[in-house]
Amino acid sequence: MKPAHLYPFSTMHVLRNLQKTARFCQKRHSSIKALQAAFRDPTSPLYLAPGTKGPASPDVHEETKSSDSLPVLNELIEKARTKLVQAGFHHTTIWEQPVAWGDQDSFQHVNNVQYVRYFESSRIRWMVQLGNRLGGPAKAEALCKGKGISLIIKSLNINYRRPVTYPDTLLISHKPLPPKPPTQTQHSTNSVNVNVEAPSDPAALLLTSSAFSVNQQAFVAHCHETLVWYDYEKLRKCVPDEEYRTAVWEPYQ
């Protein structure tokens, strides 16, 4: 190799970049080999037994549980489902929400804001079931994508009952409340009584929902939402036909 001072500046620049790239590749190759070795080492927390695979996501903690704990987990989930059904929710609308480690905050429990997303996912589940009753998958898709007559949220109120920590799974479900005159009424979900104001607007739809912790076997939060029937073609709220109201209440008759 020629002495460094005999290379033009541009050539020296290229050589330095090549040397840096070689060192990076060597370091990366060593890291990959170390990681692969950890996967093969039975004493490593990253060990994967032959013929098995790791979770598809860091959030999917159920897949990493031992085979001995799965029957217990399934039993707890079924108990949670029973509690929701006993509280008046329909079994087809129950949404399973795994709690991710990143959902927690510095207070070491699930951040209160996360529940807005949790209840949103459950509400969409409820709307999909409503759409299927109105006209099958095509109507369910239209209802969730704001095509034709659908629903739009006006307001929500969450009552927090217990802190939730990772790992856990929440079972959440929605159900409608009947329209009443604009007076204070009392709604009971399990052991909690909440005063809510039923909507007097004929275009409004009031939903109530609850989140049940599988680990704690208890209700951890309740949510009350006011939705409005909305015509997305005319861009204004509307009073839906009787078939919509019938479909809303069909599972609860």
At 94, which CATH number? Answer: 3.10.129.10
Same domain, 159 and 236: yes
The alpha carbon dihedral of 189, 194, 195, 200 has a sign of negative
Cis before residue 240, ω within 30 degrees of 0? no
pLDDT digits (tens, 9 = 90+) for 185-240: 455 545 444 455 555 799 999 999 999 999 999 999 999 999 999 999 999 999 99
Same domain, 209 and 111: yes
Which residue do the tokens 């929440």 mark? 170
Which residue(s) pair with 177 in the sheet?
206
- Whether 138 shows a pLDDT value over 90: the answer reads yes
pLDDT at 108: 93
Length of the chain: 253
Same domain, 78 and 177: yes
Q: Tell me how far apart the alpha carbons of residues 112 and 106 are, in angstroms, rounded to a whole number.
A: 12
C-beta separation of 97 from 172 below 8 A: yes
Same domain, 97 and 152: yes
Domain range holding 135? 62-252
C-beta separation of 228 from 203 below 8 A: yes
Same domain, 91 and 180: yes
Q: Which residues contact 32 (CB under 8 A, 6 or more apart)?
A: none
Which residue do the tokens 């929605």 mark? 174
Cis before residue 167, ω within 30 degrees of 0? yes
C-beta separation of 80 from 214 below 8 A: yes
C-beta separation of 204 from 226 below 8 A: yes
Same domain, 97 and 42: no
Q: Tell me how far apart the alpha carbons of residues 152 and 154 are, in angstroms, rounded to a whole number.
A: 7
Same domain, 211 and 122: yes
Same domain, 45 and 166: no
pLDDT digits (tens, 9 = 90+) for 9-27: 556 565 676 666 666 656 6
Same domain, 138 and 240: yes
Q: Tell me how far apart the alpha carbons of residues 51 and 28 are, in angstroms, rounded to a whole number.
A: 26
The 3-state DSSP class for residue 174 equals strand
* Residue of higher predicted confidence among 70 and 50: 70
The count of structural domains within the chain is 2
244 token code pair:
């919509």
Read off the pTM: 0.68
Same domain, 209 and 146: yes
Phi-psi map region of 82: left, alpha, beta (phi>0 left; psi -120 to 50 alpha)? alpha
Same domain, 110 and 137: yes
pLDDT digits (tens, 9 = 90+) for 24-39: 656 656 667 776 776 6
pLDDT digits (tens, 9 = 90+) for 80-114: 999 999 999 999 999 999 999 999 999 999 999 99
pLDDT at 69: 74
Nearest partner of 175 among 185, 184, 183, 187, judged by Cα: 187
C-beta separation of 144 from 187 below 8 A: no
Helix (H) / strand (E) element for 62: namely none
Same domain, 244 and 202: yes
